[in-house]
Amino acid sequence: MKNLTWITVSGLVVLLILAFVFIPKPAPAAFAYDKLPILGSPDAPVKVVEFGDYKCPSCQFFSQQIEPQIKKDFVDKGGVSFYFMNFTFIGPDSYTAALAAQSIYHQNNDAYWKFYDALYKNQQNEKLQWATPEFLVNLAKQQNLPIDFNKLQQDIVSRTYAAEVDEHNAMAKKLNVTGTPTLFINGEKMEEAMDYAKVKAAIEKAQKGAK
């Protein structure tokens, strides 16, 4: 009886191991990269997408401490392109900030990244509603961005790019993004975005896989 039980248990263990080995991995997430703000070359073999919220304190840290290192070590060398998508879950003005950023992106991709940096540097308490149209337009003016400020104001108030922000949020939920910042490296989800050593290792692994 003991031998029978042992054989049964051993058989189940083998089946579980085989199931784990042969179950196909989920396909990498597919992004419309050509419709997103980009740092670097669109032809780079490794593509990193950040899901972020402009009111998120962790995203502020990421923008100041992690993203510049990704840019220096990988983007500036041509091996990686970096993209941004909105996941506006903190407050209603997270959405307003996203509308402003999308407007600037559609006017000038380089200006978008200057605004990205400025918005996080001037981030206020996440519990307060501070990302108003007036604040966002004034911030863009303070950065001397080469854009049409009247159009920016109109785009925010008219919610011109609401459909795009909604698509970003829907994509985040579809991909089970539960917080920000969350990275996808060549479509593979990475939640440890705050640890640059791990981000760097994941990018280097993706580079090897892309060769």
Look at residue 206 and tell me if it is in a domain. yes
pLDDT at residue number 210: 81
d(CA 56, CA 126) in angstroms, rounded, equals: 7
38-39 and 182-185 as β-strands: parallel, antiparallel, unpaired?
unpaired
Look at residue 1 and tell me if it is in a domain. no
In angstroms, how far is CA 208 from the centroid of its own chain? Answer: 22
**What stretch of H or E contains 116?**
helix 109-121
In angstroms, how far is CA 39 from the centroid of its own chain? Answer: 12
Look at residue 23 and tell me if it is in a domain. no
Kindly report the average pLDDT of the chain as a whole number.
92
The stretches in the chain having pLDDT less than 50 are 9, 14, 18-21
Look at residue 49 and tell me if it is in a domain. yes
Q: What is the pTM of this model?
A: 0.88
Look at residue 26 and tell me if it is in a domain. no
Structural domain of 175: 33-210
Residue with token string 């950040």: 50
pLDDT at residue number 6: 54
Look at residue 147 and tell me if it is in a domain. yes
User: Which CATH number covers residue 123?
Assistant: 3.40.30.10
Look at residue 112 and tell me if it is in a domain. yes
Look at residue 104 and tell me if it is in a domain. yes
Q: How many domains does the chain have?
A: 1
pLDDT at residue number 101: 98
d(CA 87, CA 154) in angstroms, rounded, equals: 22
CA angle at residue 87 from 80 to 118, to 5 degrees?
Answer: 70
Question: Are residues 141 and 149 in contact, defined by beta-carbon separation less than 8 angstroms?
Answer: yes
